[in-house]
Amino acid sequence: MLWTYTPPSAGQVEALTSASGGLSRVLAELLLRHRLADRAAVTQFLHPRLATLADPFVVPQLKRAAERLHRAIERREQVVVLGDYDVDGVSSTTLLVGLLRRFGLAPRFIVPLRAEDGYGLSRSAIDRALEAGRPALFVALDCGTNSHDEIAYLIGLGIDVLIVDHHRSRDDELTAVASPLPQSEGEGGPQCILVNPHIQVDAGELSESYRNFCTVGLVFKLAHGLLKLLRPEGNEIANTIQLREELDLVALGTVADLVPLLGENRILSRHGLKMIEKTARPGLRALMEVAGLPPGQAITPVDISFRLGPRINASGRLADAALSVELLLTSDSRFAETTAQQLDAFNRERQDIERQMTEEAEAMIDAHYADDQGIVLYSDKWHPGVVGIVAGRVTRKYNRPCVVLGNDGELAKGSGRSVTGVNLVDVLADCAEELEGWGGHPMAVGVGLDKQRLASFRQKFAHAVREHAGRDISDAELPIAAWISPEEIGEALMAELDTLHPFGQGNPEPIFGMRGVYLAGAPAVFKDMHFRFQLVDKTWRRLYGVAWKMADRIPPTDAPLDLALKLTWNYFRERKLLQLELVDWRLHENPTRAAGKR
C-alpha cells in the first residue's frame, strides 16, 4: 500500500483548538480534513441535531407526493408498494407500509424475486402485484427511475404511480431539472410523480440537504411531509406519530446503501443507530440476537454492514425479500424469532456459496485479468443472488472496480462495485452500447448484457475505468488521517473519536500512523489467519491489538516499525476494552529516531 499523508498547517490546527474550546490536536486535525474550520461548523458536525433537518418540501416533487398520499388516506384508497430487495428497499418498504397502516390503510406490498422478476420495477413484478386487484396508487421504492415502459403500462391501466428513488437516470438527454417520466398536474387522469434528487436538482445551496439521500432517507422526508399536511388539519393519528421512532429503519438503509454519511444523512444515521440499540421492533431485536449483538451494546455502521445487513439481504438473494419486510413489520415475537433464525440460515448458506465463488473469481483474476484496471468476470455456474457480494470482495482486495456476472439464459447478469474516485454510473455510460440494461449509483450498479458481448464489454469497461480514474489505481492508497504516539491513545482520545461517529461513506474511519515503535513480544497467531500483538508506551502501559487476516505477514519484533491502525472498542464478556486494529505495517526508515523500545 502507498501511505499518504497531507497535514493541515500547524496554524490551522492551533486556531481550531483555540476557537473550539480545547479540542485535542488530533481531533482538530481530523475536523480540518472535513473543512470544518470554525466553532459553529464544528459544533454542528460533532453534535448533529434532528431540529436542524431541513423542511421536507425542499426536496423537489416531494410535496406533490405527500399530497397524493394524503388523498389516498382521505379516500381510503387501495395502495400497492413495491420495494427493491436490498436493505434500502426493504427498510423503505417497511417504513412506508407501517406508516400507511397507522392511518388505517391496508397497503399490499411486494418485493421482486431475483430469479423470476429481475431487478426493479419489471413487468413480471407488476403483474404479480396486480393479481389481487388494481390499486388506485402504485408506489415503487428504490427503483423505477428508468422504468419508462412499465410506468406507462400502469398509467394505461388507470393507476397513479409514485416513484421514490435515488438511482441515476440512463437518459443522456436528461437535464438536471427534467423528469423522464410522464407527469400530469391535477386529478384529471392517472399521473406519475417522481421523487429523485438526482433527476430534479435545484441550483442552490438547498440541494445539498437532499442530494445524498438513499431511498429510505427520502421516504422519511416524505413521511415528515405527510405529517406536515395532516397535523394542521387536526388529524389525531398524525399528532401521535413520533418520526424519531422510525430512524432505526433509516439508519439501516442509509448505512447499508453506501451513501455519504454527511449533512442530513449524518444526522439521521447518528440518531438512527441509537434507536437501533433500543428498538421496540420485535423483528429487529430478534435479528440482532441471532447476529450476536446483545442488548446494551453500542451499534456501529460496521454492525449493519457485516451483521444485520447481510441477514436482511440474504432472503432476497436466495429466496424472497418480502420475508425481511414481514420480519421488520411484525409485532409477533414468536414469528420474529422464527423468521430471524430463518434469515440467519439463509445467510450461512449465502456465505458458503460466496466463499466458493470468491475463490473462483480470484483465481480468474490472477490467471487472466491481473493487469486490467477495471475487471469483468463471468461464470455460468455463479449464483445471481451472490454476485454483488463477490464483486465487493474482489474490488476491495484488488482495489479496482469489478463487475461479476452470472448466467440468466441468453444474458449475463450481475453487479458491479467501485473504489473511491471512480463513478460507476459514468463508467457504464461509456459502455452503454454493449449493455441490455444497467442502473445504480456511483459505488454499486446492476448490469445485464448479451453473453456474446462479454469480450467487448470487458475491454471497454477496463478502458473506461482507466479514463475516469486518470491513473493506475491497482496500488491502493492508505490515507493516514493523523500521526500519533502510543501515549496519546486512551479514553480521552476515544471519547473525542466517538463524537465523529458514524463512520462510513464520506466520513471514513480515521487510520492513524505510529512511527518507530517496537512490538512487546512475538505476535500470537490464532485461527491460522489472524494475530494479536502488544505495544508498551513510555509509561510501560500495555496496548493490545489485533491484525485480521494478516497471519501471513507478521512484523518482526527486533526492528522499529511504522504502524497504520484504527482505534476501536472490543466488547467481550460484558467488558469494553480499547483495541488497536492493525491495517498495515512497514519497517521504520529512520531507526535512530525510533521510540518505545524496551
State pLDDT tens for residues 142-191: 999 989 999 999 999 999 999 999 988 766 433 333 344 444 444 567 89
555 and 578 inside one domain: yes
CATH number at residue 75: 3.90.1640.30
203 and 175 inside one domain: yes
Judge whether residue 441 has pLDDT over 70: yes
- Read off the C-alpha cell for 226: 405527510
Lay out the sheet containing 375-378: strands in order across.
375-378, 402-408, 411-417, 444-450, 437-441
Q: Is residue 288 part of a domain?
A: no
488 and 586 inside one domain: yes
520 and 460 inside one domain: no
pLDDT band at 595 (very low <50, low <70, confident <90, very high): very low
9 and 110 inside one domain: no
63 and 6 inside one domain: no
Instruction: Identify how many contiguous H helices and E strands the chain contains and give both numbers.
Output: 21, 19
Interatomic CA distance for residues 389 and 310, integer angstroms: 9
- Read off the C-alpha cell for 59: 426536496
CATH number at residue 563: 2.40.50.460
Bridge-based pairing of strands 437-441 and 530-536 is: unpaired
99 and 221 inside one domain: yes
**How deeply is 538 buried, as exposed, middle or buried, from its count of CB atoms within 10 A (0-12, 13-18, 19+)?**
exposed
440 and 506 inside one domain: no
Interatomic CA distance for residues 229 and 445, integer angstroms: 36
86 and 32 inside one domain: no
State pLDDT tens for residues 536-561: 999 999 999 999 999 999 999 999 99
To which H or E segment does residue 239 belong?
helix 236-240
Which residues have a Cβ under 8 Å from the Cβ of 355 and sit 6 or more positions away?
Answer: none
| Domain interval for residue 576 | 480-598
Interatomic CA distance for residues 130 and 156, integer angstroms: 14
Give the total number of structural domains in the chain. 4
The pLDDT of residue 205 is 60
Give the pTM: 0.88
b/e code 384-412 from CB counts within 10 Å (16+ = b): bbbbbbbbbbbbeebbbbbbbbbbbeebb
CATH number at residue 429: 3.10.310.30
Q: Name the residue type at position 474.
A: S
pLDDT band at 439 (very low <50, low <70, confident <90, very high): confident
Q: Is residue 279 part of a domain?
A: no
